[in-house]
Structure formats: structure tokens, C-alpha cells
């Protein structure tokens, strides 16, 4: 079970992914394609329905063309 602090971290991460994606004017589907993830996965991350693994965080960063640290 996640506590409130964990949820806050996930929320910040999700908002950062969305902000970077929208700044690049790409869809969730396009980001998923670039990241090598399923098209619904990005939406689930942005809606806080998934707690992405380190591997998926790395893939999302690559899909956005940023360093992992820019997602936090």
C-alpha cells in the first residue's frame, strides 16, 4: 500500500512526463512508440494508474529525448 508521500512523488513524476510530452507537441501514443512501450501505458502513468519501474522510467526519458534526471 502506498502512503501519501509516495503518491505525491508519483503525481510529480506524472505531471513532469505530461508537461515534457505536451511541450514537444506529441501524443501519448507517439511517446509510447518512441519509448518502446504499449500505447496505453503512457496514459496510465500520467493518470497515476501505474508506478513505473526504473526500466520504464529510462524508456520514457529516452522517448522524450531527455536525461532521466529531468523527469524528477
User: For residue 69, how many other CB atoms are within 10 A of its CB?
Assistant: 7
State the residue range of the domain holding 28.
4-71
Identify which of 33, 25, 29, 24 has the alpha carbon closest to the alpha carbon of residue 59: 33
Domain count, the chain: 1
Specify the CATH number for the domain of residue 24.
Answer: 1.10.260.40
Written in H, E and C, the secondary structure of the chain is CCCHHHHHHHHHHHHHHHHHHHHCCCCHHHHHHHHCCCHHHHHHHHCCCCCCCHHHHHHHHHHHCCCHHHHC
Predicted pLDDT of residue 5:
76
Q: What is the pLDDT of residues 7-37, one digit of tens each?
A: 899 999 999 999 999 999 999 999 999 999 9
Instruction: Please say whether the beta carbons of 63 and 31 come within 8 A.
Output: yes
Q: What is the pTM of this model?
A: 0.89
Amino acid at each position: 500500500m502506498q502512503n501519501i508521500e509516495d503518491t505525491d512523488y508519483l503525481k510529480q513524476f506524472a505531471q513532469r512526463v505530461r508537461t515534457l510530452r505536451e511541450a514537444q507537441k506529441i501524443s501519448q501514443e507517439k511517446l509510447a512508440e518512441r519509448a518502446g512501450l504499449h500505447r496505453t501505458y503512457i496514459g496510465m502513468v500520467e493518470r497515476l494508474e501505474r508506478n513505473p519501474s526504473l526500466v520504464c522510467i529510462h524508456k520514457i526519458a529516452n522517448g522524450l529525448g531527455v536525461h532521466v534526471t529531468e523527469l524528477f
